[in-house]
Structure 1
Amino acid sequence: MAHKLALIGFGGVGKGFVEILRDKKMKLKKDHQIEFKIVTITDLYKGSLHHPDGLSLDEVLKAIDENGSLDAYPEQPGLIRGWNSKETIEKTNADSIVEMTYTDVKTGQPAIDHCKWAFLHKKNVVMTNKGPVALAYNDLAEQAHANGVKWFFEGAVMSGTPALRLPKMTLTGNEINKINGIFNGTTNYMLMRMEEGLEYDEALKEAQSLGYAEADPTADVEGYDVLYKVLILANVVLGIPLKREDVYCKGISTMTTDDIKEAKSLGKRWKLIGSIQKTKEGVKATVQPVMLDLDDPLAGVTGAMNAITYSCDLSGAVTLVGAGAGIKETGFAVLIDLIAIERER
């Protein structure tokens, strides 16, 4: 029986995920005996569609490509239009909700409410949205468990790079004493370009022109994006219920070419590092620029790539390097979460 999906939010990642499902349909069925069927899509700006027997992915993509709106999807018997996100969660016959709305990292809304409504209606949730995981992890995890459903969010930390699945599945049995990581591709790219001679403002403009940085780059350059990923790792991987105020946070916006030269003269390299460390005094969590020795695996991570090092008591330090953003990569994170749910059914 096909696993039915409802998509809430249909931006670039949503479209990319639909393309993945279309292109991988035969492989998923042949290699894994898994079939996914999208029955509902709702988006605040692009409209909404529901058909209990499933939507045509080709027609969905054609409507978006040609008109930028789901309104252009052809009429057919049984098709319903116009549901908002709450109506979608309450009325859809989907098994799982794929939550891909805009991340409000200050409140986690409306995604937190989407999770709560879905759990109450006995639906699994897969999300790429880091706000709810960072701000309401324990509460939402308890609600999902109480309602007998799954809540997965691999894409919330390093996109399609399995930063959460690695420690939970593969490093299990270790005591993880420290987590260090590069969790923001924008700032990593900027620091690389500053090392190559650009001033901070020039590096920022270039990052914006390449689409790495938003028009308002505050979340990246002040370290807030990394802060929320540190909160997720602390809560999910280490089981430590850290809050925003528990993490010292400093971004790269005050860094100068003199700072870069100083690191070079010492044979080091600046990286914006998110860190969680268990100490005798308790847990120390920080987001800040750090001068790394060049033989540190994180020092060699260039461009917009992300990386994470887990320091373990048995396996030693394990570093994972991969893309931390991207439409295809984030769509893949949704897919692996859904495959995990399907395998546990």
Structure 2
Amino acid sequence: MPLDLDARKPLKLCVLKFGSSVLQKPDDYARAAHEIYRHTRNGEKVVAVVSALEGETDSLFAVGGDVGEGCSDALLARLVRCGELKSAALMGLALQRSGVPSAVLDPHEMDLQAEGEALDANLTGLDADRVLAHFESADVIVAPGFFGEGVEGPVTLGRGGTDLTAVEFSHWLGADRVRLIKDVDGVYTDDPAKNPEAVRLDQLDYDEAAKVSRGLVQEKAIFRAKQNNVVIEVAALGSPFATRIAAVEKQAGPVETPKRLRVAVLGHGAVGAGVCSHLLAHPGRFELGPVLVRDPDQHAANAPELRFTSDPAEALEGNPDIVVEAMGGTDIARSLSQTVLREGHHLVSANKAVVALDLERLHDLARQHGRELKYSAAVGGGVPVLELIDLLGAQGSILSVEGVMNGTCNFIFGQMQKGVRLAEAVSEAQRLGFAEADPSTDLDGLDAADKLSIIIRHAFGVTLAPDQIACESLNDLSAQRIKAVQEQGLVFKQVARCEVTADGRVEARVDIEALPPEHPFAGLVNEGNGFLIRMPQRTVSVQGKGAGRWPTAEAVFADIMDIQRAYLSGDLHASPLQETPLSRIPRMSSGQVA
């Protein structure tokens, strides 16, 4: 991760606050995880400050009053903080499922200090170095809001206290902004639910915000933001718009015009099923058509809430806005991908084989027909390596990219490290679903070559077909070599590498390498993927879950949401973070500067 090693501050840091207006039930943590992933894949490290689920704090106050009638405020504070502790753990679980590297920290683990009345205290400080150190291995830190550690135990911060926590974190950690996620898309001149003439504001100053946002943003939080010149943004989940509270002139802005997009999903395997689940969880944003599968009856028995078809024409009827290709393979998927763009649909693909073979053709079709082509999940699963390469490439020259890109091989090598023989490790990978019945594409390096071909196009702007990339197969490993590596305490990894030579050529290959335990790739386990991107002055690393239903579906859904936000903003080519000029600050990742 490119850190300022003196200050230990990431180059780009955002504090996101999720209140009880958006955390109303356990399913909402997945929606919050989408929002967090959106920020991390666009180059930000995130501190996510969470409130308790809606109604939970009131419930804890009520039960505390019943059980301990006339009890001290100090004991009530100790009780009601439990809602935030539970919420932070649930957010951490949602992020873990999505494959986002994260750490959940309680106030005492951050030395988050407070003073004042037990039920209406103020925060006074935290150990910033201790907090920021976690960004060396995580992209997100999750923290409970609403309370801190007083001299005599936990104290709470009063109603809306999570807003105050988020603002103070932004100040003490040197964040670029704090974004308060609410159930409205910004601050209005009046309550839009009561006054249809209310105007949404793009920006306003702190004093005006304290007047018009009463009940929306805690007044203490606005006061502290003004004292420390902290920029506050107020926005809804997934919104392209935000109201900016800062030392600025008041300015009105546009209101979201909801557009429910029609989505066709091709394929209902692990990834396709995960994408369908995300789409069904957002009925106000998306309408899901019949899902294309080989055997509709079989899938209908397992997912009765969906409609299935084996007819591509039926899956694409109704003129869908977005088509998601999650079938895999290169037969029908290859022709359908081109047809989709040619007929004027946006295409989101998780199919690295098709993207690698036809990347230039698909880009040409997208340009010709004014459509979006997105394929973040095709490389790295939920690891946003293509976005990282694009962001770094805009800052300077990329010299090389190398990575562990295949979860199947990574699992097999992990088994071998435990003393399991290669053939048995392959069988275990097949049993657990990491490997196909015919694992040759993974073992022979062809899957990694597909991904490397796509990376080369993004890193160097040239086309190198997968069949032009030399690959070493796991099947070529001799027993003697395996034994020698184990005796030396080294770790086998399948490493795909591309680099620019001194004469300007791009060379690429997939090798089986024996790495020392301290190498950044050595600790990757199971479906873990990791990448090193070398530039003239630094090396940036990123890692996470490179396969699996939920991490890969998270990347696909992020592509879908990018398109949906572009519709809302009126610009299909808009950046998902156009509401802030900070989106041009350099990208961070979850490794260290070499």
Counterpart for residue 96 of structure 1: 322
List gaps (5 residues or longer) in structure 1: 30-34, 48-60, 72-81
Whether the 8 Å CA contact 1:122–1:147 is kept in 2: the answer is yes
Structure 1 or 2: more helix by fraction? 1
- 1:45 matched to 2:295? The reply is yes
Contact 1:185 1:305 in 2 (8 A): yes
After the TM superposition, which residues 287-302 of structure 1 pair with which residues of structure 2 at under 5 Å, given as runs?
287-302=510-525
**Matches for 1:75-114 after TM superposition, within 5 Å:** 84-86=311-313, 88-89=315-316, 91-103=317-329, 108-114=330-336
Instruction: Please give the alpha-carbon distance, in whole angstroms, between the structure 2 residues aligned to 1:312 and 1:196.
Output: 35
Consecutive aligned runs of 4 or more in structure 1 exceeding 6 Å deviation: 66-69
Asked if the contact 1:164/1:233 (under 8 Å) is kept, the reply is yes
Deviations 1:266-294 (A, max 9, x none): 45322111110111242110011012233
Contact residue 344 and residue 371 of structure 2 kept, 8 A: yes
Q: Deviations over 1:175-223 (max 9, x none)?
A: 1111111111111121122122121112112222222111211111111
Mapped partners of 1:232, 1:154: distance in 2 = 10
Matches within 5 A, 1:1-345: 1-23=259-281, 25=282, 35-46=285-296, 63-65=300-302, 70=307, 84-86=311-313, 88-89=315-316, 91-103=317-329, 108-169=330-391, 172-266=394-488, 268-281=490-503, 282-314=505-537, 316-344=538-566, 345=572
Shift of 1:102: 2.8
Contact 2:295-2:310 at 8 Å conserved across structures: no
Tell me the equivalent position of 1:78: none
Bigger mean CA offset, 124-133 vs 192-201: 192-201
**Cα separation, 2, equivalents of 1:3 and 1:17:** 15
Q: What is the number of residues matched between the two proteins?
A: 308
Q: Match of 1:319, SS? A: strand
* Residues 66, 307 of structure 1: alpha-carbon distance in 2 compared, 3 angstrom cutoff: closer
Q: How far apart, CA to CA, are the structure 2 residues paired with 1:257 and 1:7?
A: 45
2-structure distance, mates of 1:292, 1:237: 24
> Within 2, Cα distance between the matches of 1:304 and 1:14?
18
Say if 1:334 and 1:64 are closer, same or farther in 2 by CA, change over 3 A: farther
The verdict on how the C-alpha distance between 1:115 and 1:304 changes in structure 2, with shifts beyond 3 A counting, is closer
Instruction: Note the residue ranges of structure 2 that are not aligned, 5 or more in a row.
Output: 1-258, 567-571, 573-594
Which whole-Å CA distance do the structure 1 matches of 2:288 and 2:303 have between them? 20
The CA deviation at 1:143 is 1.0
Higher relative contact order (CA 8 A, sep 6+): 1
Distance 1:301-1:200 versus aligned 2 partners, 3 A rule: same
Amino acid at match of 2:391: M
- Higher Rg of the two aligned structures: 2
Determine helix, strand or coil for the equivalent of 1:236: helix
CA positional deviation for 1:174? 2.7
Q: TM-score of the superposition, structure 2-length normalised?
A: 0.49
Q: Against the structure 1 CA distance between its residues 66 and 229, is the aligned structure 2 distance closer, same or farther, given a 3 Å change threshold?
A: closer
| Structure-2 change in CA distance of 1:64 and 1:164 (3 Å) | farther
Check whether the contact 1:200–1:256 (CA below 8 A) recurs between aligned residues.
no
Q: TM-score, length-normalised on structure 1? A: 0.82
Residues 267 and 161 of structure 1: is their aligned pair in 2 closer, same or farther, counting only changes over 3 Å?
Answer: same
Tell me by how many angstroms 1:257 deviates.
Answer: 4.3
Letter of the 1:317 partner, please give it.
Answer: T
Q: CA RMSD in A?
A: 2.5
Q: Which residue of 1 aligns with 2:186?
A: none
One-letter identity of the residue aligned with 2:463: P
- Could you give the per-residue CA deviations for residues 79-135 of structure 1, whole angstroms, max 9, x where no partner exists? xxx67214543x3221111111132xxxx3322221221122211000111122110
Aligned-pair CA distance for 1:265: 4.6
User: Is the CA contact 2:381–2:546 (under 8 Å) kept in the aligned structure 1?
Assistant: yes
2: CA distance between counterparts of 1:213 and 1:43?
21
AA matched with 1:109: D
Deviates more, 1:300-309 or 1:256-265: 256-265
3-state SS of 1:14 partner = helix
| Distance verdict in 2 for CA 1:237–1:327, change over 3 Å | same
Change (3 A) 1:164 1:150: same
Kept in 1, the 8 Å contact 2:280–2:286? The answer is no
Mapped partners of 2:407, 2:564: distance in 1: 31
> Per-residue deviation at 1:229?
0.9
CA shift for structure 1 position 172: 2.9
Distance 2:320 2:398 in 1: 37
